[in-house]
Copies of this chain bind each other. A is one copy, B any other.
Amino acid sequence: MRRHVLLFGLMAGVVVAVLQLIEYRWLVLAHSMEIYGALIAAVAAGVGIWLGFKLTRPAERVVVREVLVPAPTEFVRDRGQVATLGLTPRELEILEFIAAGLSNREIAERAFVSENTVKTHSGRVFDKLGVRRRTQAVQRGKELGLIP
């Protein structure tokens, strides 16, 4: 910007000098004032327009257009639902195992508890989810944002 102003000043000076030089040569006429002024005005206006272009060109207006792109959102557990349903961490864990397609026995092995314990937990989960089968529990759990 500052460079532009300096450049403009320099050019203006040059223009004036050139015009005066020309005048000293053959433009020594009595009423040359109008022509002289018009010339200067025209040249200066040209420079101004060019300057205007220079100044405004970088001023791009950025228009942001949002495009919907399918983005897989990673799972975030709905803590509110967990709280309102009163699900304990252990019960949620068992629900995840159930959703993974494990049998009660397999869950018992991975959770290091007895099969009876797993049955107790899963039963409580069914109660709290208001379902009667593990497949329903899985479906409901996903609906409620309890499991991925």
Contact = CB atoms under 8 A, between A and B. Distances in A.
B63 A103 contact: no
Contacts of A144: none
A51 interface: yes
Interface string A41-83: 1111111111111011101111111111111110000000000
A122 B103 CA distance: 17
Question: What DSSP secondary structure best describes chain A's contact surface?
Answer: helix
* Copies of this polypeptide in the complex: 2
B99 A139 contact: yes
A55 B137 CA distance: 67
A101 B139 CA distance: 7
A98 interface: yes
11 contacts: A45-B48, A45-B51, A51-B52, A53-B56, A60-B61, A62-B63, A63-B63, A66-B69, A71-B71, A99-B135, A103-B133
